Structure 1
Amino acid sequence: MMTQFATMTHASFDVSNIEVEKDGIAYTVDTIRELKNKYKDTKLFFITGTDAVLDLPNWKDPEEILNLCTFIAVNRPGYVTDTLDDKLDKLMKNYNGEILSIKAPQLKISSTDIRNRIEEGRPTKYLLPETVEQYILKKGLYKKNEL
């Protein structure tokens, strides 16, 4: 739900509920297979942090994932990137896939910090899209349970 609110003003994004509706474990490879079947002639991109991309060898069927879509690795704050290009090149060679590296402005934002701020009644302005912030406040999410 929050992903829909976060992307509602961006016409280029489409939120899928495939994993939400799935019974049991939702593996990335299964989700991407389903998306590829649904959008046969569309090039799929998987945007995630460099830490997750470097963990691909531990995912289910990483070679198939990289054959079905292009990964976009976004740098994360505090993550050492000195040897990142070499590591990404090695992954691409090992799994015969395409990984693009994006150097984005680094913001020190963590979901844990945001939840703690909400629980403590501290502001979250500029840390979340306004639509997501409104949804969280309206639903009373992450508020401290007072007994």
Structure 2
Amino acid sequence: MEHFKEKYPGDEVYFIMGADLLVDIGEEKWKKSKELVQENKFIVMARNGIDMLAVIAKSPILRNADDGQTFHLIDKGLAMEISSTYIRDEFQKGGEPRYLLPESCYEYISTNHLYQ
């Protein structure tokens, strides 16, 4: 996140993740979870079976940072079960997850032979 904030100083930078990672961060399973939450903004995609508001309410780290601007919760009936791990696994298995990524991201991964 620091890299992108430095690279794009005039832009708002968001950490995009699934609600499963929100749970992990709230339970401090990530190194420097508290700093990560205090210094960044997040877009969180719904996952089946995870109540994002309850996750935030249960975690002091998340609850204390919930100022109405830090977490942008995307639920709208859509639960994204496709994760970054799934996309990496597709590349490793020789799959073509082109439809899951922006074209520029797909091209970068393909050109640089990432995850193979």
Could you say which TM-score interval applies, normalised by the shorter chain? 0.5 to 0.7
Between the aligned partners of 2:92 and 2:114, the Cα distance in structure 1 is 11
Contact kept, 8 Å, 2:45 with 2:74, in 1: the verdict is yes
Q: Indicate the structure (1 or 2) with the bigger Cα radius of gyration.
A: 1
Sequence identity percentage = 24
How far residue 131 of structure 1 moved from its aligned partner, in angstroms, is: 3.2
RMSD: 3.7
SS state at 1:59 partner: coil
Q: How does 1:46-65 map to 2 (within 5 A)?
A: 46-56=15-25, 57-65=28-36
Alignment match of 1:74 (pick from 17, 35, 45): 45
Q: Does residue 102 of structure 1 match 2:74?
A: yes
Q: Does residue 90 of structure 1 match 2:58?
A: yes
- TM-score, normalized by length of structure 2? 0.57
Between the aligned partners of 1:80 and 1:86, the Cα distance in structure 2 is 11
Contact kept, 8 Å, 1:50 with 1:75, in 2: the verdict is yes
Between the aligned partners of 2:45 and 2:33, the Cα distance in structure 1 is 18
Contact kept, 8 Å, 1:73 with 1:101, in 2: the verdict is yes
Distance 1:42 1:106, change over 3 A: same
**5+ residue gaps, structure 2:** none
Partner of 1:13: none
The CA deviation string for residues 73-97 of structure 1, in whole angstroms up to 9 with x for no partner, is 2123xx412x332112222xx1210
Equivalent residue pairs, number: 103
Between the aligned partners of 2:13 and 2:53, the Cα distance in structure 1 is 22
Contact kept, 8 Å, 2:46 with 2:52, in 1: the verdict is no
Alignment match of 2:102 (pick from 96, 106, 129): 129
How far residue 54 of structure 1 moved from its aligned partner, in angstroms, is: 0.9
- TM-score, normalized by length of structure 1? 0.48
